[in-house]
Structures are given as structure tokens and as C-alpha cells.
Amino acid sequence: MLTGKSIVLAGALTLGFSCIAGAVAPDLPLQQIIDRNIAARGGLPAWHAVKTLSMSGTMDAGSTLPNPAKYAEDARHPAGPRKRLHPEPAQAAADAEAAKPITLPFLMDFKRPRMTRVELKFKDQTSVQVYDGKNGWKLRPYLGRQKVEPFTPAELSIAAGEQELDGPLIDYSAKGTKVQMAGVDQVGGRDAYKLKLTLKDGQVRTLWIDAQTFLDLQIESSNPKGRKLQQIATVMSDYRNVQGLQIPFRLENHVAGVSMPQRLLIDQVSVNPVLADTLFVKLQ
């Protein structure tokens, strides 16, 4: 969810940085921001002691429209075939207001060094994705696909770019991540330190750290989609203490060009559950 020793700083660690209008976050050295973030999240010893992590809850999986016929294909239009009918603006606004997100139960398992497993329940069927740190496989019966499929190159790239279970700043140098100060922003009305993270493979993430709590507020990435890159911002909130660790129980994925965010609401977190390596091998 890497090795290397170099750290890129925006000037010396004590160098100041500019703030946007209204931002009043203290001018702190980069390493101090990183250290405070790690301490706020539970500290290095607590996270080093975490070997496995399990989470369960619900996530959004699209939405329903009250009048799907309005958006159906229409080959009988006088002007010739067109892909979709467009309702009047007032009707479109009403439909958008009435659209309800579909929520599905999920289970996520993480095991060091970089193994993940995700199960998603849908109509008495279970979708599974596993990643063993190098390769990934998926089973999607809800799409009528009953055979195990390997991750696509794009999916492998996304999986490889995910941070380990302890997050992006813990042991960042050992993971080969370079960190730069990128100023101060506001996220949801809160002042936040903006950090640029360059992963070992060259992928770039932008991380915002709350200037008061020093917890992660938002992380933004660019994931491959076809021949383009798709911007995704994940907003983290509702932090709760789980065995000394601060974990966000609400995450919202905001995808560029998509009006409705995807919510992930965590109900339970288990620290260091027994997870066999066989859970993360190729699906049968």
C-alpha cells in the first residue's frame, strides 16, 4: 500500500516558504513537519510493530438514476443515431439530486512488506483482488467473469505506487521516497503543509498535512487510464485511536471529471491479525 537514501529538500531545512492568502501555519522546517506527522499518527515504534492490518466497512460503487430511460441510447432520433439523450437542465439537476450511491461491504487485508487483498461483496458474490508485492490478480464474478485475470499494466502501476500500510512518511528515505516542501495550502478550510513526494519509480504524490493536528488531510496522485493520466485526490478524516495508532475511518476519493466522490467508510480495524501468506497468492 524500496530502498534509497537521498532526500530532496526545498533549500535548507530551516528555509522559509511562502503562504497563500489566509494561511497562518507556522513556518517549520520540513523534517520537523515529517517528525510531527509521524508522532501524531502514533510514532515510529508503534507503526514498526504493525505487521498486518485488516479493515472492514462499506464503499461506494457508483449510483442509481431514478429515470434511466432518459439516458438510454436512441437510434430513432430525427437527426440520426446519438449515444445518449440529454434531459432538460432542470430534470438533469433533479435526477442528479435523486441519484443514490450504491454501497457495498468490503474487507481489506495488508501484510508487510507490500501484500494486499481486497474483497467486495455484491449480490451474494465476492469480488477479490490480491497483490503479492510484484504481481496482482482479480476475480470479478459480478461482471460475469468467473476466471482469474492478471492485473493490467496500468493496474500493476497503480498497485506498485500504493504506500505501505504505515503510510508515505514513515521510513520514507529507506523506501526511496524523496520529499520536498511545496508551500502551504488550505484543505477543507484548514491550513495544511503541502509536500511533494517522488517515489522510487518516479511517480509523484502530493500530500497535505494538517498544520494543527499534523495528521494527513489529503493525498493526490495521477493514475494511468488508457493513454492519459487521471487525477485522484483522497481526503482523509474521522481519525480514531486504534491501539495507539491514529487511523482515518472516512476516506473520499475525488476523481477529476467525476462529480460524485467515492466514499470509503471504515467500521472496524484490526491490528496484527493472523494473515497467512496464502491469502495473497494467485487466486484459484
**In this structure, is residue 229 part of a structural domain?**
yes
Residue 91 exposure: Cα atoms within 13 Å on the Cβ side: 11
CATH number at 268 reads 2.50.20.10
- Which tens digit of pLDDT belongs to each residue from 24-45? 688 999 999 999 999 999 999 9
Q: Is the pLDDT of residue 79 over 50?
A: no
What does DSSP assign to residue 19? Answer: B
**In this structure, is residue 9 part of a structural domain?**
no
- Dist. CA 31–CA 14, nearest whole Å: 9
> Buried b vs exposed e over 157-172: b needs ≥16 C-beta within 10 Å?
ebbbbebbbbbbbbbb
- Dist. CA 239–CA 151, nearest whole Å: 32
**In this structure, is residue 72 part of a structural domain?**
no
Query: In the structure, what pLDDT confidence band is assigned to residue 142 with cuts at 50, 70 and 90?
Result: confident
**Residue 183 grid cell:** 508551500
- Dist. CA 174–CA 215, nearest whole Å: 21
HEC per residue, 258-279: CCCCEEEEEEEEEECCCCCHHH
- Which tens digit of pLDDT belongs to each residue from 50-61? 999 999 999 987
Name which of 40-54, 94-108, 184-198 the model is least confident about: 94-108
Q: Work out how many domains the chain is built from and give that number.
A: 1
**In this structure, is residue 88 part of a structural domain?**
no
- Which tens digit of pLDDT belongs to each residue from 209-219? 999 999 999 99
Question: Range of 238's domain?
Answer: 30-66+101-275
**In this structure, is residue 160 part of a structural domain?**
yes
Task: Tell me the C-alpha to C-alpha distance, in Å, between residue 5 and each of 2, 111, 175, 204.
Answer: 10, 24, 8, 17
